[in-house]
Structure 1
């Protein structure tokens, strides 16, 4: 509506001005009508020209402003995207490192559990064969301590395997390994317990040339080692991604 009024004013003003200058009320002004018309025409033309320049400049400034806003929004979106990606990579790295620590704990736990089992078998065999009667009471106390400590092993196995299964959600490709390890570790603990409270079961483990007497100890340790290697590879892969983005 405003544009239409402006256009009508622009067209109608010269016509109205010409008619007004021909009225007797304006005849006292010196000069010819044609001169006044030329003057007012130049005056109005200058106003129109200035108005056009103003509106064109305003339009360009408006477009530049819109372009700047779009550029700022786009940069913000890219910045947020980069920050989110960086956050995800950092989170994954943290979870991988934490998983490695849990695997190391379980590895040490397996070795300690097996070593305690070896001691139990050795002490029990010495007592039953009466190889060192003078130290029999000492061996019995050590066996009692091994049985007591075995309950603590169970609590630690549950705690660490539960954490391992939770962390495996951040790396689904290792979830099957973690599930199998959980079953094997609980089976390892149950195997030792069965021997601790059996009179003659220990005789099945009198194998002095074997490093790991418990059935799945070697499998558990080798699987944990492979798992740690796989997680280290994942960490290196994530670090390479970060390095490429920086460069």
Structure 2
């Protein structure tokens, strides 16, 4: 901001200097020729010219007037053209800045959309892993390892999304809402895992791990699934919002 202000001050100063020089030159052009003619008519080496002084004054007036008029018209044309060029350069520069700004926003929208989609895929895996464990396809250790991996990936995705907040309107507010759903979901998952397996473990005669039933009632798989569904629906809605903004930016870019 400071550099921009200094640049504007420097441009204003240069413009003022140019105007002052132009005025000075015009003053010299308009005052010097009449004085030179007046002085010249008194010089001895100009006495050979025929005709009266009035006639010569009329001649020099028309002659120098034509030259001064041409110079003045040229100066005006130059300043007008120069001003138009400056305005066009400024307009082109502004258009280029807007174009680059739109391109950056489009890239950021695409990145946010991709990160949210990746997050939703991780959320969907929670249901898959809980279902596999409920159907005794996987063990409790496998379930816990999978949930920990998902949580690590989701937190990494969230950090990347946080870095994009300055570029996307209301992204910070929506991420806070997303984290509220996320915490609720993982609280259900943690309670499901912890309370489901809070009883002592032992191995039967063939070495198979057996879980003694707990007196506590854990969240059911359906409750876990419902929490994940709420999380995924909110994330999908946020993806649609980002996609709509992305489309508007693309249409605006095409219109130029």
Same fold at TM > 0.5: yes
Cα pair distance change 1:89/1:236, threshold 3 Å = same
Q: Does 1:122 align with 2:149?
A: no
> How does 1:129-144 map onto structure 2 within 5 Å?
142-144=139-141
Query: What corresponds to 1:78 in structure 2?
Result: 91
**Structure 1, unpaired ranges of 5+:** 22-35, 124-138
Q: Which moved more, 1:42-51 or 1:221-230?
A: 42-51
| Correspondent of 2:73 among 32, 50, 60 | 60
> What displacement does 1:120 show?
2.2
Contact 1:168 1:174 survives alignment (8 Å): yes
Q: Does 1:163 align with 2:190?
A: no
Partner-residue secondary structure (3-state), 1:38: coil
| Correspondent of 2:34 among 1, 4, 7 | 7
Cα pair distance change 1:73/1:202, threshold 3 Å = farther
Q: Distance in 1 between matches of 2:227 and 2:154?
A: 15
Q: Distance in 2 between matches of 1:152 and 1:220?
A: 18
Query: What corresponds to 1:92 in structure 2?
Result: 105
Q: Which moved more, 1:92-101 or 1:214-223?
A: 214-223
**Structure 2, unpaired ranges of 5+:** 1-26, 198-213
Cα pair distance change 1:63/1:151, threshold 3 Å = same
Q: Distance in 1 between matches of 2:79 and 2:215?
A: 84
Structure with the largest fraction of helix: 1
| Correspondent of 1:110 among 123, 144, 147 | 123
* TM-score (structure 2 length as normaliser): 0.69
Partner-residue secondary structure (3-state), 1:75: helix
> What displacement does 1:73 show?
0.6
Q: Distance in 1 between matches of 2:42 and 2:94?
A: 62
Taking only aligned residues, the RMSD between alpha carbons, in angstroms, comes to: 3.2
Query: What corresponds to 2:11 in structure 1?
Result: none
Q: Does 1:234 align with 2:245?
A: yes
Q: Does 1:217 align with 2:214?
A: no
User: What is the number of equivalent residue pairs in this alignment?
Assistant: 212
Cα pair distance change 1:185/1:44, threshold 3 Å = same
* TM-score (structure 1 length as normaliser): 0.71
Q: Distance in 2 between matches of 1:37 and 1:204?
A: 124
> What displacement does 1:122 show?
2.9
